[in-house]
Amino acid sequence: MRVVVVGGGISGVAISRAVEARGCSVTRLSRSTGFDVLRDDATTALAGADVIVEATGRFTTSRKAATQFFTGSTRAIGRAAGAVGAHHVLLSIVNCMRPEVQGYGYFAGKTAQEAVARSVSPHLTIVRSTQWFEFARQNLDRMRFGPVALVPGMTIAPVALDAVATVIADVAVGERSAREIEVAGPDTTTLWTMTKALPGPGVTPVPLPIPGRMGRAFRGGTLLPARETEVVGPRFQDWITGK
Ligand SMILES: NC(=O)c1ccc[n+]([C@@H]2O[C@H](COP(=O)([O-])OP(=O)(O)OC[C@H]3O[C@@H](n4cnc5c(N)ncnc54)[C@H](OP(=O)(O)O)[C@@H]3O)[C@@H](O)[C@H]2O)c1
């Protein structure tokens, strides 16, 4: 089984490791390996793939920029997957499509991305997870302004990225076959609590209470999974103490 993971971030590394552990051959493609999904010929780059995992990302709060990036990535990968006869596996986020959070441009982009994937990919699985444990540090990097970093008020049920990667490996080798899969971590917490638990954050975290309907939705649990959502991986507290 030949698996191509598009996206070189922390998720690309974790997914490649999990898929390799199943005995698949894995290639990672991103700009740092010479492949730009928005510019290069994806059908040529993805030729020979049985499974293509789309784990590209660009952090932006702009609806326009997020929509352009995520739909552009998925249109290219979905069409290429159809052309080479591969299974397209897309990473997404639990509840990113909820109307109360569409004011957050990144989530509007993810919602548009899912719609494009459904329309262009003949063989598609969308794997949605809640925010990863690693998201606390990603947020500090993305929201850093000099010596401080802003931490939006968010109530979430975070999940270990390695546990999500294992689910994606199950999908890649055909052990799971649903068109949409949702997973979450075992506990409800806040991004602030997770951030305060990080060893050596390297920056001073500052709470950012987002105003209005969207801020209330983030704080009030709109991003929490439905009660019946599959729980995977360790508890955040056990994960962080093992780091
Ligand atoms: N973070 C979370 O908690 C979370 C939770 C659930 C789902 N997700 C979803 O999982 C996906 C991956 O998230 P992430 O946090 O790992 O993403 P990320 O770190 O923002 O980006 C992943 C990689 O995408 C690659 N990339 C960016 N532009 C590209 C381009 N034009 N062509 C090819 N590759 C490009 C980059 O590698 P290069 O610089 O080498 O190009 C980057 O390392 C996203 O769709 C995200 O929404 C994230």
pLDDT tens for each residue of 103-131: 999 999 999 999 999 999 999 999 999 99
Three-state SS for the chain is CEEEEECCCHHHHHHHHHHHCCCCEEEEECHHHCCCCCCCCHHHHCCCCCEEEECCCCCCCCHHHHHHHHHHHHHHHHHHHHHHCCEEEEEEECCCCCHHHCCCHHHHHHHHHHHHHHHHCCCEEEEEECCECCHHHHHHHHCEECCEEEEECCEECCECHHHHHHHHHHHHCCCCCCCEEEEECCCCEEHHHHHHCCCCCCCEEEEECCCHHHHHHHHHCCCCCCCCCEECCCCHHHHHHCC
Looking from the CA of residue 158, the nearest atom of ligand 1 is: 3
Is the pLDDT at 243 greater than 90? The verdict is no
Residue 50: pLDDT band (50, 70, 90) is: very high
Is 188 in contact with 156 (CB distance < 8 Å)?
yes
Q: Which residue has a Cα nearest atom 1 of ligand 1?
A: 135
CA of 58 to the centre of ligand 1 (A): 6
| Contact 95 CB / ligand 1 (< 6 Å) | no
Is any atom of ligand 1 closer than 6 Å to the C-beta of 60? no
Position 64 scores a pLDDT of 98
User: Does residue 141 have its Cβ closer than 6 Å to ligand 1?
Assistant: no
Average pLDDT over residues 32-49: 98
User: What would the pLDDT profile of 25-40 be if each residue is shown by its tens digit?
Assistant: 999 999 999 999 999 9
Q: pLDDT at position 107, please? A: 98
Specify the pTM.
Answer: 0.97
Residue pLDDT, tens place only, 54-63: 999 999 999 9
Each residue's pLDDT tens digit, 185-239: 999 999 999 999 999 999 999 999 999 999 999 999 999 999 999 999 999 999 9
Q: In this structure, what token pair is assigned to residue 11?
A: 């998720």
Q: Which residue has the tokens 């999908």?
A: 171
Which atom of ligand 1 is least distant from the CA of 10?
16
Per-residue pLDDT tens for 67-87? 999 999 999 999 999 999 999
Ligand 1 pocket, 127 CB below 6 A? no
Tell the residue number behind the tokens 């780059």, with chain if given: 45
Name which residue sits closest to atom 44 of ligand 1, judged by CA. Answer: 57
Q: Which atom of ligand 1 is nearest to the CA of 132?
A: 3
pLDDT of residue 242: 84
